[in-house]
Homo-oligomer: A and B are copies of this chain.
Amino acid sequence: MKISVYAIPASIDDRDLKERIAVVIDVLRAASTIITALNNGCKEIIPTAEIEEAIMLAKNYEKDSFLLGGERNAVKIDGFDLSNSPYEYTPEAVKGRTVIMTTTNGTQAIRKANDAKEVIIGSFLNAEAVSRYIRHRGDDVVFVCAGTDGKFSLDDILVAGAMIDILEGMNTEMEMDDLALVSLHLYKSYKSNLKKALENAYHYKNLVRAGYEKDVDYCIQLNLFPIIPVYKDGTIRISQNFQG
């Protein structure tokens, strides 16, 4: 199985997506929030690149059947129901509802991955489930890290490393590209203390400085939810074809 990791969506050669499963990673915080929401009974998530697009889409939904969620510069958007904090996506808030969501890095990465055979959303929260799913499918994989403001982001790389480590633990035969090798090495070095790996990282420091340390602590928990969120036709839903 070929394993590629891209640090930023813009660097992906579209040919590398064909016939592969894309795992989109934006661990702080979009992917972690999406996974939490779906685990808490959210019906579906519709990621949009722009705020205006989210507001336009919302007009197609009945009152109380949807929520607007997301952030710009880590802060809740004016007029939106929820920010990008996983703690807001409680069962009480999201159960049975559609969430229309726009975030700075994550939703853009999901759209960039669209040419893949299948697009799934991964974070530490569902790392083992994603690795088992990949192994079950047997297809080549490309990890599409969202990055932060268009730059290499250590947090996302670490999630790719966690999934590759789990695949290795299952004796999966892998042909890794260079960034996959580096991601795996980094994760192995810090797996007993992920926070230590992140303490000097840009995105982590920014979120902590902005008062989101509790969110970050939440997002770096491993394997809480054995679900596979699949992005298809513009919508993210839990895969029903896989029991994690």
Residue ranges of A at the interface with B (Cβ–Cβ < 8 Å): 5, 7-8, 10-11, 13, 148, 150-154, 157, 176-179, 181-182, 185-186, 189, 200-203
Contacts and interface: CB of A to CB of B under 8 A. Distances in A.
B177 A157 contact: no
Contacts of A181: 154, 200-201
Contacts of A189: 185, 189
Contacts of A13: 150
A200 to B, nearest CB: 6
Nearest to A11: B11
Output the residue of A148, A176, A181, A203 with the most chain B CB within 10 A.
A181
Output the residue of A177, A202, A203 with the most chain B CB within 10 A.
A177
Given A8-B11, A152-B177, A177-B151, A182 B157 contact: yes
A176 B200 contact: yes
Contacts of A182: 152, 154, 157, 182, 186
16 contacts: A5-B152, A7-B7, A7-B179, A10-B11, A11-B11, A11-B150, A13-B150, A148-B178, A151-B179, A152-B177, A153-B178, A154-B182, A157-B182, A177-B202, A178-B201, A181-B200
